[in-house]
A = this chain, B = another copy of it.
Amino acid sequence: MTEGPDFTLENIAREGLIEPSGTEQAAHDGTGRVDLAFTVHSTGDAAPTQRGVRVPPGVTVFDSASWNGIAIDSTCGGHGTCHKCKVKVEGGSVPITRHDVRTFTSDQIAEGWRLACLVQATRDLAIEVPPLTTRPKAATVGVGRQVILRPALVKRYVELEEATLADQRTDLVRLTDAISDLELNADLHVLRRLSTVLRQSDFKVTAVIIDEDLIDVEPGDTTGERYAIAFDLGTTTVVATLLDVGTGTPVAVASMLNKQQPFGGDVITRISATMMDPDALGRLQEAAGATLAELAVQVCAEGGIDPAQVYEVAIAGNATMTALVLGIDPEPLGVAPFVMSTAQPPTVLASDVGLTLHPRARAVFFPALGAYVGGDIVAGMLATGMDRDKRTRLFIDVGTNCEIVLSDGDTILSTAAPAGPAFEGGAIRCGMRAADGAIEVIKLDATSEPGVTLGVIGDVEPRGLCGSGLVDAVAELVKVKLLDSSGRFVPEVDALDIAPVLAHRLTKIGEERVFILHQPTPDSPPDECVYLSQRDVRELQFAKAAISTGWTLLLEQLELEHLDIQQVLLAGSFGSYLSPASAVRIGLVPQLPVLRIVAAGNVAGEGAKMALLSLRERAGATALIEEVAYVELSDRPDFNDKFVEQLSF
């Protein structure tokens, strides 16, 4: 096993899972993605639920499940030691590890039983998840991080002695004396209920505590109901995970587009909206709150949970999203010198951000490192253990604004690079979001038919090109040499020699040269096709140059070379679906063996879950404000030179 720090376990480090002692490593080239069909059984008579999950190849089945809110038994956190994460892989010609041999009978292994944390998803799989047998005291969240459950939300059931003239302790003291290991503060809300609830329930009550604040007393024993919601509040997409913080189990997951979309696709257009229209801030705040509220209703309904049993939410969002949902004017974030109101938003009532949960439910936010390295990135750093891992690691969240974090195991630097809208499908002629009809995977073959192989979301007629498809398209065109290293399409006269099977696809729309990726019918003119234009290549080129300039400058600052990087984490919804091989090929990430490049999934959401499950992790996030240096690129005199250097493929 790789030597990790002793207090965290990394199971996504694929190198770490290639055990010298006989574990087979499934071959994969780091491109494309795989579909996993989970059948989740639960205790009792409930029918099993079906869940389809799409992940980059090489991710473990355990992580694939965990990222998507599917609970699998585990106490070791996916380290291959607890032997609890048993799943049955259907049609399973998946490798057998020595841990499987120790855990299962040969009949079971023949039936497909495996430990989920050791099965890498290198092809489409159908997986049966048995009912949970344990209520884990630790949970695996983030990128395979094992979190000991010590949630801020605590419930204590107590049976109190009734008062007498000889024992006139106040109701509050009577209660807190019974919970003497905690120092409790009571707010007005709970004092208004306390004496009534105590007397109506014969002094048998459950104290609801967040951190050290007594937020409610509930009649009888309600310790079984402890819920919280983790929100990844993205500019585009918002994801909610309903968590049982007593067990660390995700109960339900839902996502939807941020209702702020009508104000613009990225943070700059939303900030601009507030500068043009004095009412826009209020409306953006409301839209963000409505998004959170709708998702909360959805996950509670799906989980069969009364929203009043949700006592805490954690919200991971970039600085602009965080400001907007709190009703804080974002204008200073949008104009130089890019200043935040505060790096650490205060904890507020969930109702302050539009949520109708328990009336005193809290909303906690992640701190931000800068106006463009926000709470979502800090959450992601938490989820990936950027602050705890001793390896040299590069974290890249690819998007309109691209956040980059580099750690040499000691010093941590962060920066933001303005990548522009290319990766979100904006400013790309045939660009679209990663939705049905989007080409997300492209393979080109210069010499044998069919020449172009497309992976399309939803397996429907291709309608456009999403970010990962764009990167694949450019990477493959560079590979087959139809794009030169300066990013120019080769002259048509040379194309036939270079790539005989593909050359006919290189044509023009007006004056602009394009490469046809998909022609709906043989008669379709180029402008009715899905194509990549010369300008699209330039857009991507500028984006990748901005990003690579970012990590190049950070590497220089830590006096590191590319090859010193032991792991590159690609984060965010886009990063997760980017082909590592293509990302390397176009220079979006450093030139490294593809196995060192890891899709980290929705790390912001995972960080939010960790903050709900562990006060220690939450404190770790706050500590990052002090621990991580923020490098402002726009202030660097050498930025432009580096940027030009990085333009070529």
Residues of A within 8 A of B (CB): 163-173, 185-188, 191-192, 194-196, 199, 326-329, 331-332, 336-343, 345-346, 348, 352, 370-371, 630, 632, 634-635
In the bound assembly, the distance between CA atoms of A164 and B632 in angstroms comes to 11
Specify which chain B residues have a CB less than 8 angstroms from the CB of A352 in the assembled complex.
Answer: 188
Whether B326 pairs with A192 at a CB distance below 8 angstroms is yes
Whether B165 pairs with A337 at a CB distance below 8 angstroms is yes
Contact of A635 among B166, B169, B329, B346 (CB under 8 A): B166
Given A185-B346, A199-B332, A329-B196, A341:B165 Cβ within 8 A: no
Given A192-B328, A331-B195, A346-B187, A340:B170 Cβ within 8 A: yes
In the bound assembly, the distance between CA atoms of A170 and B194 in angstroms comes to 40
Give min CB distance, A349 to chain B, whole Å: 9
Whether B172 pairs with A337 at a CB distance below 8 angstroms is no
In the bound assembly, the distance between CA atoms of A337 and B329 in angstroms comes to 53
Protomer copies? 2
Whether B337 pairs with A163 at a CB distance below 8 angstroms is yes
Specify which chain B residues have a CB less than 8 angstroms from the CB of A345 in the assembled complex.
Answer: 188, 191
Given A171-B332, A328-B191, A332-B171, A342:B186 Cβ within 8 A: yes
In the bound assembly, the distance between CA atoms of A340 and B191 in angstroms comes to 10
The residue of chain B having its C-beta at the shortest distance from the C-beta of A634 within the complex is: B165
Whether A170 pairs with B326 at a CB distance below 8 angstroms is no
In the bound assembly, the distance between CA atoms of A339 and B185 in angstroms comes to 19
Whether A168 pairs with B342 at a CB distance below 8 angstroms is no
In the bound assembly, the distance between CA atoms of A326 and B194 in angstroms comes to 13
Whether A188 pairs with B337 at a CB distance below 8 angstroms is no
Give min CB distance, A100 to chain B, whole Å: 51
Specify which chain B residues have a CB less than 8 angstroms from the CB of A336 in the assembled complex.
Answer: 165
Contact of A346 among B168, B191, B331 (CB under 8 A): B191
Given A163-B337, A332-B199, A632-B165, A172:B342 Cβ within 8 A: yes
Whether B163 pairs with A339 at a CB distance below 8 angstroms is yes
Contact of A332 among B164, B195, B370 (CB under 8 A): B195
Give min CB distance, A368 to chain B, whole Å: 9
In the bound assembly, the distance between CA atoms of A326 and B186 in angstroms comes to 13
20 chain-A/chain-B pairs, Cβ below 8 angstroms: A163-B332, A165-B336, A165-B337, A165-B338, A165-B632, A166-B635, A168-B632, A170-B339, A170-B341, A170-B342, A171-B339, A171-B341, A172-B342, A187-B346, A188-B326, A188-B327, A188-B348, A188-B352, A192-B329, A194-B341
The residue of chain B having its C-beta at the shortest distance from the C-beta of A326 within the complex is: B188
The residue of chain B having its C-beta at the shortest distance from the C-beta of A281 within the complex is: B192
Specify which chain B residues have a CB less than 8 angstroms from the CB of A329 in the assembled complex.
Answer: 192, 195-196
The residue of chain B having its C-beta at the shortest distance from the C-beta of A636 within the complex is: B165
Contact of A337 among B168, B332, B634 (CB under 8 A): B168
Contact of A343 among B170, B371, B635 (CB under 8 A): B170
In the bound assembly, the distance between CA atoms of A166 and B636 in angstroms comes to 10
Whether A328 pairs with B168 at a CB distance below 8 angstroms is no
Given A326-B191, A346-B187, A168:B199 Cβ within 8 A: no
Specify which chain B residues have a CB less than 8 angstroms from the CB of A194 in the assembled complex.
Answer: 328, 341-342
In the bound assembly, the distance between CA atoms of A165 and B172 in angstroms comes to 51
Most chain-B Cβ atoms within 10 A of its Cβ — which of A163, A195, A326? A195
The residue of chain B having its C-beta at the shortest distance from the C-beta of A319 within the complex is: B170
In the bound assembly, the distance between CA atoms of A318 and B352 in angstroms comes to 33
Specify which chain B residues have a CB less than 8 angstroms from the CB of A342 in the assembled complex.
Answer: 170-173, 186, 191, 194
Whether B195 pairs with A341 at a CB distance below 8 angstroms is yes
In the bound assembly, the distance between CA atoms of A473 and B343 in angstroms comes to 70
In the bound assembly, the distance between CA atoms of A474 and B186 in angstroms comes to 48
Give min CB distance, A444 to chain B, whole Å: 43
Give min CB distance, A547 to chain B, whole Å: 20
In the bound assembly, the distance between CA atoms of A527 and B346 in angstroms comes to 69
Give min CB distance, A190 to chain B, whole Å: 9
Pairs A-B, 10 closest by C-beta atoms = A172-B342, A165-B635, A170-B340, A165-B337, A163-B339, A163-B337, A171-B341, A195-B332, A195-B341, A188-B348
Whether B346 pairs with A186 at a CB distance below 8 angstroms is yes
Give min CB distance, A333 to chain B, whole Å: 9
Specify which chain B residues have a CB less than 8 angstroms from the CB of A172 in the assembled complex.
Answer: 341-343
In the bound assembly, the distance between CA atoms of A371 and B336 in angstroms comes to 59
Specify which chain B residues have a CB less than 8 angstroms from the CB of A169 in the assembled complex.
Answer: 339
Specify which chain B residues have a CB less than 8 angstroms from the CB of A199 in the assembled complex.
Answer: 332
In the bound assembly, the distance between CA atoms of A186 and B166 in angstroms comes to 43
In the bound assembly, the distance between CA atoms of A332 and B196 in angstroms comes to 9
Whether B337 pairs with A164 at a CB distance below 8 angstroms is yes
Whether A168 pairs with B341 at a CB distance below 8 angstroms is no
Whether A343 pairs with B173 at a CB distance below 8 angstroms is yes
Whether B327 pairs with A168 at a CB distance below 8 angstroms is no
In the bound assembly, the distance between CA atoms of A371 and B171 in angstroms comes to 12
